[in-house]
Structure 1
Amino acid sequence: MGDDRRWMYDGWNRNQAHSDEWIAKSNDFINRAFSLSTIDKIRCPCKCQNAKLFDKFTVSKQLCRNGFVPDYETWVFHGEKYSTVAVEEEENDWEGIDRMDEMLDEMQLEFNLNSEDEPTPEVTEFFRLLKASEEPLHEHTKVTLLAFVTRLMAIKSKFFFSNNCYNELMKLFGDVLPQPHMLPKDMYQSKKLLKGLGMRYRKIDICPDNCMLFWKEHKREQKCLKCGKARYIEVVNDDGETVTTEVAHKQLRYMPITPRLKRLFLSRRMAMHMRWHKEGEQENNEVMVHPSDGDAWKALDSFDPKFAKDARNVRIGLATDGFRPFGQTAASYSCWPVFAIPYNLPPSLCMKYEFMFLCLVIPGPEHPGPKLNVMLKPLIEELQELWKGIEAYDNLVTLMFRGKAPTCDVSWLP
């Protein structure tokens, strides 16, 4: 971005008594944008939010009537590239901003809310969230039920509150708040309220020795087909008889990454950042500051030019390492989380923990060793489907697109 562009907003007047500077510079903007267009139409930068294409006369009329869309000081839809500095300045304020209303608006695109069919459970949960986002906690506040619960759950996660501690806090708040109030009474009710915000995960039983997954065509097997060990824990009852329980010896937690990748494009802000690797402007091309500067990235581009052409196609890195969830002094037990990292994002975002997607939790108590590939089967199958392409909604251009996602890098965390 060149000079200060506050004129875009300071010089515009709702009564169309625009300043001379605004008129002159708006005309320069329109002439410049159309000089770069090959179809005699450009994206309208007014309340259309750069989503609709119009001719020169219509764009001029719309700008005079509605002004520029807020915060459009870098003209990324009219010939300018994303500014690295602008991205970094935005990310300085990434935390601590309540974007609940924005997120719910974007989540609507995930569901066909205009359908005349019976609403799915996911849609029903979404409408419950909408209601909670509009319902005040009590009649003497503007804080909504959803805002309160999400903030309190975030504090719980940040400071490691136990569930019992959370329940006691809710009881205290319930005694202090004026009646009647909408506060959930405990952790269970809070999680039930927020269920629609989360992503589904699957529990997959595995062999005690990690030989196989009791999954898909083998989901009804009672014993491992390789080592013969029982799938479920056996106990001795009061009569001295051996009884098979319904509790598996081991379970793999699998969280699909496809819904999370699709949700990145539901946000206009994130959809813009997901193009950074191709359309972003770097300050120093001599220094490797992002995986897109590396040889592996460029080799993939040359291997599949069609894939490389669309900046929305996602490059994914996988990383894993073992850790002891019960501390160093507890019994020897380690589990192995596997993370997926979308590399499309700019350097200031792609290594933030918010964008490191937990996709597998491989149970211990020991390293899976060469059988790690067995544990990765669900993720590998999902990555193969992603490589074929999936339908997603791009909220930046308000269009569906078919995106692909290869795995660029697999590594062990240090």
Structure 2
Amino acid sequence: MFRDACFQDDCNAEPEVEIRDEGLTLNVEDVETPLYEGCAKYTKLSAIVVLYKHKATHGLSDKGFYEILGILREMFPLDNVLPESLYSAKKLLKVFDLGYQKIHVCINDCCLFRKELKHLEKCPKCGESRWKLNTKTNHIYKGVHAKVLRYFPIILRFRRMSRSVEMTNDLTWHFTHKSQDGKIWHPVESPAWESIDDRWPCFALEPRNMRLGLSTDGFNPFRKLSTKHSCWPIVLVTYNLPLWKCMSQENLILTLLIPRPKQPGNDIDVYLQPLIEDLN
């Protein structure tokens, strides 16, 4: 399923909710301290970033990463400041983690237990408990959620994008690089884009306004064909970016992760509530 969406604000409207960026605290010594005396290329922080990127790119296990740290510490001079454990490395990188929210969901996808429903024990629509139920004994395990949605807030992620000079230039690429030959090379030349501009001219005047595509598809996280369990990520695509960047992996924004034993179908609207609220 694929939906295009553009979000606009009233030209003169004041924001209804004040959005506060979470402060990032990073030890200056970690940024400036050389990996070892005389090392001019890597600092303590940059070395960990490079190693952790290698771990993520090649799917290296935590045990394997821990062993690499131990090997490198023995290879480097004795005064090296490389962390001794994976825990220490993660603690150093925690400052860059924007985190996510866990939101309890009705087992029948009726509602999200948030806002005015946050403290309810049962779904107001179907009456099912929000906690895990033993189907054989009917015992309810309070404190163990039956189903949980993971939401990755987008506002701070958009703000982080705007902190990069290169990214801010890319976000206005669509405004200055329209096709001149009458061919569609980028969504900016599409009739749908022009329709949005005609309907909301105030929105179109600011090239930094975000043009977003909403995409989702299910996959089996266990890599087994014998089970029907599926997981559904909701991904935002930023159409402001140049053609060769808007669909690149590093620019796709994961916003929601829906764990389910089956596909969400029309009930996906329930899960989209926090995302739509932040977009508005």
Interval containing the TM-score (normalised by the shorter chain): 0.7 to 0.9
Tell me how far 1:382 sits from its aligned partner.
1.0
Task: Give the Cα separation in 2 of the matches to 1:265 and 1:242.
Answer: 50
8 Å contact kept, 1:170–1:186: yes
8 Å contact kept, 1:235–1:245: no
Task: Give the Cα separation in 1 of the matches to 2:196 and 2:167.
Answer: 23
Give 1:66's aligned residue: none
355-364 or 257-266: bigger deviation: 257-266
Pick the aligned partner of 1:200 from 91, 99, 111.
Answer: 99
Give 1:188's aligned residue: 87
Give 1:277's aligned residue: 174
**Structure of greater Rg:** 1
8 Å contact kept, 1:317–1:342: yes
Give 1:260's aligned residue: 157
Task: Give the Cα separation in 2 of the matches to 1:270 and 1:241.
Answer: 53
**1:253 corresponds to which letter in structure 2?**
R
8 Å contact kept, 2:103–2:113: yes
Give 2:241's aligned residue: 345
**2:129 corresponds to which letter in structure 1?**
A
Q: Does 1:380 align with 2:276?
A: yes
Aligned CA distance change for structure 1 residues 317 and 176 (closer, same or farther; 3 Å): same
Which of structure 1's runs of 4+ aligned residues deviate more than 6 A? none
Unaligned runs of 5+ in 1: 1-111, 113-119, 385-414
8 Å contact kept, 2:62–2:86: yes
Task: Give the Cα separation in 2 of the matches to 1:311 and 1:345.
Answer: 11
Tell me how far 1:234 sits from its aligned partner.
4.9
SS in 2 for 1:189: helix
Give 1:233's aligned residue: 132
Tell me how far 1:330 sits from its aligned partner.
5.6
Aligned CA distance change for structure 1 residues 243 and 320 (closer, same or farther; 3 Å): closer
SS in 2 for 1:154: helix
Give 1:177's aligned residue: 76
Task: Give the Cα separation in 2 of the matches to 1:329 and 1:190.
Answer: 36
Task: Give the Cα separation in 1 of the matches to 2:199 and 2:115.
Answer: 33
Task: Give the structure, 1 or 2, with the largest relative contact order (CA under 8 Å, sep 6 or more).
Answer: 2
Aligned CA distance change for structure 1 residues 364 and 243 (closer, same or farther; 3 Å): closer
Unaligned runs of 5+ in 2: 1-19
Task: Give the Cα separation in 1 of the matches to 2:169 and 2:267.
Answer: 39
Pick the aligned partner of 1:286 from 182, 190, 211.
Answer: 182
Task: Give the Cα separation in 1 of the matches to 2:139 and 2:109.
Answer: 24
SS in 2 for 1:226: coil
Task: Give the Cα separation in 2 of the matches to 1:324 and 1:229.
Answer: 26
Give 1:94's aligned residue: none
Q: Does 1:218 align with 2:117?
A: yes
8 Å contact kept, 1:273–1:346: yes
Aligned CA distance change for structure 1 residues 383 and 121 (closer, same or farther; 3 Å): closer
SS in 2 for 1:335: strand
Give 1:131's aligned residue: 29
Tell me how far 1:264 sits from its aligned partner.
2.0
SS in 2 for 1:122: coil
Give 2:55's aligned residue: 156
Give 1:249's aligned residue: 146
**2:109 corresponds to which letter in structure 1?**
N
Aligned CA distance change for structure 1 residues 220 and 280 (closer, same or farther; 3 Å): same
8 Å contact kept, 2:105–2:147: yes
Aligned CA distance change for structure 1 residues 299 and 174 (closer, same or farther; 3 Å): same
SS in 2 for 1:340: strand
Task: Give the Cα separation in 1 of the matches to 2:165 and 2:238.
Answer: 17
8 Å contact kept, 1:250–1:363: yes
Tell me how far 1:285 sits from its aligned partner.
2.8
More helix by percentage: 1
Tell me how far 1:177 sits from its aligned partner.
2.7
8 Å contact kept, 2:131–2:140: no
Pick the aligned partner of 2:218 from 322, 346, 349.
Answer: 322
Q: Deviations over 1:168-226 (max 9, x none)?
A: 22222233332233222222222211112221311111112222111111111122222
Q: Does 1:141 align with 2:39?
A: yes
TM-score, normalising length from structure 2?
0.85
Task: Give the Cα separation in 1 of the matches to 2:258 and 2:181.
Answer: 39
SS in 1 for 2:260: coil
Task: Give the Cα separation in 2 of the matches to 1:245 and 1:131.
Answer: 45
Q: Does 1:311 align with 2:212?
A: no
Percent identity reads 36
Q: Deviations over 1:143-170 (max 9, x none)?
A: 1111111111111111111112212222
Q: What is the root-mean-square deviation of aligned Cα atoms in Å?
A: 2.3
Tell me how far 1:270 sits from its aligned partner.
1.3
Give 1:302's aligned residue: 198
**1:349 corresponds to which letter in structure 2?**
K
Task: Give the Cα separation in 2 of the matches to 1:174 and 1:226.
Answer: 58
**1:315 corresponds to which letter in structure 2?**
R
